[in-house]
A and B are shown apart, each in its own frame.
Chain A
Amino acid sequence: MTASSRYRSRVPRPEDAEEKEYVGFATLPNQVHRKSVKKGFDFTLMVAGESGLGKSTLVNSLFLTDLHKDRKLLNAEERINQTVEITKHTVDIEEKGVKLKLTIVDTPGFGDAVNNTECWRPITGYIDQQFEQYFRDESGLNRKNIQDNRVHCCLYFIPPFGHGLRPVDIEFMKALQDKVNVVPLIAKADCLTPLEIKKLKERLREEIDKYGIKIYQFPDCDSDEDEEFKRQDKELKESTPFAVIGSNTVVEARGQRVRGRLYPWGIVEVENPSHCDFVKLRTMLIRTHMHDLKDITSDCHYENYRAQCIQTMTSKMNADKRVESPIPILPLSTPDVETEKLIKMKDDELRRMQQMLQKMQQQMHEQDL
C-alpha cells in the first residue's frame, strides 16, 4: 500500500457521517497533500565512502537518472596525498505531479590517501556550514524564501571485503552521528554469498552497538497501523545494514529488461529482493521514510547545533560586552555556574536565619509559660 492510498482510505465519505454535525476537518490531510504538491519537496543526500565502492552507481540506480556524466577519476599516485573534496549535484525530478529537488553531495577522496587522519573534517565542516546558513536565515528579518540545504541523510558505504567495521569507519560514523542521519550500507554486495551477508550484518550490528554509534533508527510504527505495514517495518529493521548492489546498465533476464550486472555465471538483478537489499533501501529512503529523515534532521540534529551555537555565542558575549549579538536572541534562561553558587549560598543563609528565628520563638514561648 502506498502512502497516498492510506490517506485516501481514511477520509470518511459524506455518506458515513450520520450526524449532521459533520464538521469536515477530516479533509485536512487532502489539503496538506495539495499544498505540498504545489510547494514541491527538497531532499539532500550525502554519500560517503572510499573510491570504487559503487556510490555513484547506486545513486544513479536509486533515482533512475545519470548524475555523473563526465567524472574524472584520479590515478593512484595522485591520490597518495589527496584531501577530501565536497561536490554537489542538484537535479529536479518529477513523478505524478510531485516535484522533488534532489541534491546529492559527494565526497570524493574520502579514505583514499595514505594518511587519512581526520579526513572527515571537510565533511563535518560542510554539514556545520549548512546548519549555520540555515540558522542565519531563520534568524534573519526576511524569512520568506529560506533554502534548506541541510543534509538530511548520509549513506555510508562499508566495503564488503573485510570482516566488519574498520577504524576509519568507526571514527567517521562517530564524528557524524550527532550531525546527520547516518545510514550504513554494505557496498558491492555481489561478492558475498547469502550466508556471508548474514554473518557480516550481524557482525556490523554488534560492532555498531559495541562502539555506541548512533545510526538512523527507523521510528516504531503506531499500533493502529495495519498488519502488512507492521510486517514490512519489522522486516526492514531486521535487515539493516542494507547490502546493496548498483547498476548503470540494463540487461535481459527472465524475459524482462531489468537493471543488473551480467556475469559469466549468472545475472545479478538489482531489484530482486533475493539478490540484494536495494529495493528495501529505496523503499525506506524514498517511499516511506524520506519525510522522517527530514524531520529528524530539523528537530534533532539542527536543534542540537542551534543550542550549542547559542551557548557558545552567549558565553563569548559575556566575556566581551562590546560585541553585539549578530542575531536577536532571548536572554539566557540557563544561569551559569557562578550565579548558581551565589544563589545557593543565599539560600543556605536564609534557611539558617529562619531556623534561628524559629528557635528564638520557641524560647520565648517557653519563657512565657
Chain B
Amino acid sequence: MAATDVDVFSNEEKRNLSLGGHVGFDSLPDQLVSKSVTQGFCFNILCVGETGIGKSTLMNTLFNTMFENEEASHYQNGVYLRPRTYDLQESNVHLKLTIVDTVGFGDQINKEDSYKPIVDYIDTQFENYLQEELKIKRSLFNYHDTRIHICLYFIAPTGHSLKSLDLVTMKKLDSKVNIIPIIAKADTISKSELHKFKIKIMSELVSNGVQIYQFPTDDEAVSEINASMNAHLPFAVVGSVEEVKVGNKTVRARQYPWGVVQVENESHCDFVKLREMLIRVNMEDLREQTHARHYELYRRCKLEEMGFKDTDPDSQPFSLQETYEAKRKEFLGDLQRKEEEMRQMFVNKVKETEAELKEKERELHDKFEQLKKLHQEEKRKVEEKRRDLEEEMNAFNRRKVAAETLSLSQPLKKDKDKKN
C-alpha cells in the first residue's frame, strides 16, 4: 500500500506558487556564505613552466606576499612536483592555498617523459578524493581537498609560437585540469609582436584540439567581463616584488635603464587581468569545474576500469551492493586460486630439492668408496715394499756377519801387507 502511494506522489506535476508575503528564505545564500566563510576556502594552483621562467615571482606578486622559495637548479634528472601549503587571510576570509611547483621541467635533454610526473600527481589527488568518497566512515566536510583547481602554464616569450614540449604537455593535461596559458616575462615582447604571438598561440592550441579553460559566460553578472577576457588569452604577465618610485607613488615594477615596467599598469602587461580573472571573479567557478567536470571524468574512468557499470546487459539499473558482492566473490575466488597455485609451486620445489639432495648424497657415497679402495691399494703396496726392504736388510746383515767372521780369522796378515 505504501509503495503505490509513493508512486502517485512522484508522478504529480510540479506547480509554481506565488507567495502572499515575505517568508524569508531569500536569506539562504547568505546562510550559505556565512557557513563557507567559517569553514574557510581552499584553493590549489599548479604552476608548470621551465626553470627560471618566473613562476615563484608571479605567485609572490599575485598574492602580494613572499612565499619562501629557493632558486631551483637546472640539473635535475627528472621532473618532480613540490607542493607547499599556506594559510592566508583577508578581511575575515580564510584561504588555504596550495601552490605546486614543477621543478626541473624543460631542463632535461630528453623531455619525452616530462609530462608524466605532472599527470601522475593530478591523478593521485583525484584518487585520494575518490578513496575518501568511497570510504564507509567518511568525513568529506573537513577533508583537505588537494585536487588541483587551476594549472597556470607558463609559455616562454620567444615571439614565434609554442614550443613542442608545451604542446605535448598541454594536450596531456587538458582533460584533467583547468589550464590557463600565460606568457611569462612579457616585458621582452613589444606590443605588435605580442599581438601576433597571442594569435599564433591560440590558433596552435585550437588546431591541436587543446581545451583550455574558458571563463564562464552564462552568469549575466560576470558574462560581459569574462567574454572580453577570453579574447585576451593568453595573458602576458610580468611579475615583480620590488617597489619602484614612479612619479609620486611607489608601485611594484621592474626598473630598466630605458624605462620602468609597472606590473599593475594595464597598458604594460596583463597582470591585472589575470588577477581579476583568477582570484576576484572566477575562483569559485574553477573549483566547481574541477569537481564537476574533471573529477567526475576521472571517477567514471576509474570505476569503469574496476568493472562497475551503471546498467547491466539487460539495461536494468545495477545496485551498487550487488556489484560489490559480485566483485568480492570474484576477488575471493581469485585469491583462492592463487593460493592453490602457490602451494603447488611450493610442493614442486620441495620435491625437486629433495631429489637433488639425494643425487648428491649418492655421488658422495660413491666417491667415498672409491677413495677407500684406493687407500687400501696404496697401503698394500707399501706393506709389500716394507717386507722386501726387511728381507734385504736381513740378507745384508747375514752377509755382514759372514764377512766379519772371515776377516777376524786373518787380521794380522793383512796389516803386514799394508805396511810394506
User: Which residues between 263 and 298 of chain A lie within 8 Å of chain B, taking CB atoms?
Assistant: 263-269, 272, 274-275
Given the known inter-chain contacts A162-B50, A269-B258, please indicate yes or no for A167 contacting B111, CB distance below 8 A: no
Known contacts A191-B188, A193-B254, A194-B257; A113 and B164 CB within 8 A of each other: yes
Is B191 on the interface with A (CB-CB < 8 A)?
yes
Are A114 and B74 in contact (CB-based, < 8 A)? Answer: no
A264 CB contacts on chain B under 8 angstroms: 191, 267-268
Q: How many residues of A contact B (CB 8 A)?
A: 45
For residue A168, which residues in chain B have a CB less than 8 angstroms away from its CB? 109
Taking the closest CB of chain A, its distance from the CB of B347, in whole angstroms, is 50
Measured CA separation A160–B188 after assembly (Å): 10
Q: Does B206 contact A (CB under 8 A)?
A: no
Stretch at the interface among B92-100, B165-173, B308-316, B335-343: B165-173
Chain B hits for A193, CB < 8 A? 254-256
List chain A residues, Cβ under 8 A from B110. Answer: 114-117
Chain B residues, Cβ within 8 Å of A114: 110-112, 164-165, 168
Across the interface, name the chain A residue whose C-beta is closest to B200.
A75
Q: Which A residues lie within 8 Å of B208 (CB)?
A: 76-77
**CB distance A76 to B204 under 8 Å?**
yes
Question: In whole angstroms, how far apart are the Cα atoms of A162 and B50 in the complex?
Answer: 8
Chain A residues with CB under 8 A of B165: 114
CA–CA, A240 to B392, complex, Å?
Answer: 104
Output the least CB separation between B133 and chain A (Å).
Answer: 36
Q: Is the CB of B191 within 8 A of A75?
A: no
Chain B residues with CB under 8 A of A167:
74-75, 107-109
Total B residues in contact with A, Cβ cutoff 8 Å? 49
In Å, the complex CA distance between A98 and B161 comes to: 40
Identity of the chain A residue whose Cβ is nearest the Cβ of B107 in the assembled complex: A166
A residues within 8 A CB of B191? 262-264
Given contacts A76-B164, A115-B111, A268-B258, contact A161 B184 (CB under 8 A): yes
Whether A266 contacts B164 in the complex (CB less than 8 A), given A52-B159, A161-B50, comes out as no
Contacts of A79 in B (CB 8 A): 163-164
Q: Is B72 an interface residue (CB 8 A)?
A: yes
* Segment 143-183 of B: residues with Cβ below 8 Å from A: 156-168
Give every chain B residue within 8 A of A163 (Cβ-Cβ). 51-52, 71-74
**Cβ B259 vs Cβ A263 within 8 A:** yes
The answer, yes or no, to whether B53 is at the interface (CB within 8 Å) is yes
**Binding site of B, secondary structure by majority: helix, strand, loop or mixed?**
loop
Residues of A within 8 A of B190 (CB): 261-263
B261 at the interface (CB under 8 A from A): yes
Closest chain-B Cβ to A193's Cβ sits at a distance in Å of 6
CB <8 Å contact, A161 and B73: no
Q: Which residues of A contact B255 (CB under 8 A)?
A: 193
Residues in A with CB closer than 8 Å to B107 are: 166-167
The chain B residue with its CB closest to the CB of A73 is B160
Within 8 A of B (CB), among A174-228: 188, 190-191, 193-194
| A107 close to B (CB within 8 Å) | no
Chain B residues, Cβ within 8 Å of A171? 109
Smallest CB gap from B240: residue in A: A193
Q: How far is the CB of A267 from chain B (nearest CB, A)?
A: 6
Let me know if B227 is at the binding interface, CB within 8 A: no
A241: interface (CB < 8 Å)? no
Q: Which of B74, B163, B188, B262 contacts A162 (CB 8 A)?
A: B74
Could you tell me if B262 and A265 are in contact, using CB atoms closer than 8 angstroms?
Answer: yes
State A50–B71 Cα separation when bound (angstroms).
23
* B188/A188 in contact, CB under 8 A: yes
Contacts of A166 in B (CB 8 A): 51, 74, 107
> How far apart sit A113 and B73, CA to CA, in the bound complex (Å)?
22
Report yes or no: B164 in contact with A275, Cβ–Cβ below 8 A: no
Asked whether, in the complex, the Cβ of A191 is within 8 Å of the Cβ of B185, the reply is: yes
Complex interface: chain B residues within 8 A of A327 (CB): none
Q: Which residue of A has the minimal Cβ distance to B242? A: A193
Q: Which of A50, A76, A275 contacts B258 (CB 8 A)?
A: A275
**Chain A CB within 8 A of B264 CB:** no
Most buried by A among B74, B75, B254: B74
CB-defined contacts of B268 to chain A, threshold 8 Å: 264-265
Distance in angstroms from B260 CB to nearest chain A CB is 6
Binary interface encoding of chain B residues 66-95 relative to chain A, with 1 for a CB under 8 A from any of its CBs, else 0: 000001111100000000000000000000
Nearest to B193 among chain A residues (CB) is A261
Cβ-defined partner of B167 (8 Å) among A52, A73, A76, A265: A76
Does B187 sit at the interface, judged by CB under 8 A?
yes
- Asked whether A76 and B257 contact (CB < 8 A) given A165-B74, A166-B74, A265-B262, the answer is no
* In the complex, chain A residues 106-120 whose Cβ is within 8 Å of any chain B Cβ: 112-117
- A83 on the interface (CB 8 Å rule)? no
Does A314 count as interface, using CB distance less than 8 angstroms?
no
Say whether B108 contacts A265, CB under 8 Å: no
Q: Give the interface centre of B107, B254, B257 by most chain A CB atoms within 10 Å.
A: B257
If A115-B110, A167-B74 touch, does A82 touch B164 (CB 8 Å cutoff)? yes
Question: Bound state CA distance, A159 and B107, in angstroms?
Answer: 12
Q: Chain A's nearest CB lies how many Å from the CB of B289?
A: 26
Residue A51 at the chain B interface, CB threshold 8 Å:
yes
Q: Which residues of A contact B159 (CB under 8 A)?
A: 52
Least CB distance from B313 to A in Å reads 42
Query: What is the chain A residue whose CB lies nearest that of B171?
Result: A77
Given contacts A114-B168, A116-B111, A268-B258, contact A190 B187 (CB under 8 A): yes
- A39-55 CB mask vs B (1 if < 8 Å, else 0) is 00000000000111100
A-B CB contact pairs (8 Å), 13 listed: A76-B164, A114-B112, A115-B110, A159-B156, A161-B156, A167-B109, A190-B187, A190-B188, A194-B256, A262-B191, A263-B187, A264-B267, A265-B260
With A274-B257, A275-B258 given, can you name 11 additional A-B contacts, CB distance below 8 Å?
A80-B164, A114-B110, A114-B112, A115-B111, A117-B109, A161-B50, A164-B74, A165-B74, A265-B187, A265-B256, A265-B259
B-contacting residues of A (Cβ < 8 Å)? 50-53, 73, 75-77, 79-80, 82, 112-117, 159-168, 171, 188, 190-191, 193-194, 261-269, 272, 274-275
